């Protein structure tokens, strides 16, 4: 195993840095060290290897600190188009979408993130231009993006 320098005390460790940091410097120091490695651009598998943590542990550290998993935030999304192609407002009571929707900044990699077709249809049906749209889920920003694209309403 490669020796790694502890980011807190700078002593070299032949075992996982996570065990050393947790035992010698505490859980908070471990979380801060992992976050610093992540922010520097270190890949997730390398962070796991160096600190001796699982992907789930890494994900928890990141979401505790930022509220979202920043693993995908370092690469800005290239926007190809601002509205869905061939969009038609729903006219039935059963809405079904074969595609998730990838226009503007929408991204389906977050858990619980709903299809942007849903807030788009709700905003178009139940608001007027300039209305304030309540994003009661306040998650990945799907509703906020659609409200902005539609001018706060129709």
Tell me how far apart the alpha carbons of residues 134 and 147 are, in angstroms, rounded to a whole number.
9
Residue of higher predicted confidence among 69 and 92: 92
**Tokens 């601002």 found at:** 82
Tell me how far apart the alpha carbons of residues 99 and 117 are, in angstroms, rounded to a whole number.
9
Q: How many alpha carbons fall within 13 Å on the CB side of residue 83? A: 12
| CB < 8 Å & 24+ apart, contacts of 65-72 | 65/31, 65/35, 68/110, 68/140, 69/110, 70/38, 70/39, 71/38, 71/44, 72/107, 72/109
Where in the chain does DSSP place strands (E)? 4-5, 12-13
CB count in 10 Å sphere of residue 25: 16
Residue of higher predicted confidence among 26 and 4: 26
Residue 149 has pLDDT above 80, yes or no: yes
**Are the C-beta atoms of residues 21 and 53 closer than 8 Å to each other?**
no
- For the chain, what are the domain ranges? 4-70, 79-154
Q: What is the pLDDT of residues 103-136, one digit of tens each?
A: 877 766 665 678 899 999 999 999 988 888 888 8
Residue 54: which of 16, 23, 9, 26 has the closest Cα? 16
Its pTM stands at 0.48
């Amino acid at each position: 195993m490669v020796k790694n320098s502890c980011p807190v005390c700078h002593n070299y460790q032949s075992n996982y840095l996570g065990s050393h940091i947790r035992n010698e410097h505490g859980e908070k120091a471990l979380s801060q060290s992992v976050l610093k490695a992540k922010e520097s651009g270190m890949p997730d598998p390398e962070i796991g290897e160096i600190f001796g943590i699982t992907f789930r542990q890494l994900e928890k550290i990141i979401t505790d600190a930022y509220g979202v998993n920043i693993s995908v935030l370092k690469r800005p999304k290239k926007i190809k188009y601002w509205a869905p192609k061939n969009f038609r407002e729903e006219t039935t009571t059963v809405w079904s979408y074969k595609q998730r929707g990838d226009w503007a900044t929408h991204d389906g990699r977050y858990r619980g993130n709903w299809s942007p077709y849903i807030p788009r249809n709700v905003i178009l049906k139940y608001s007027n231009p300039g209305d304030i749209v309540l994003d009661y889920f306040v998650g990945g920003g799907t509703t906020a993006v659609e409200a902005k694209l539609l001018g706060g309403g129709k």
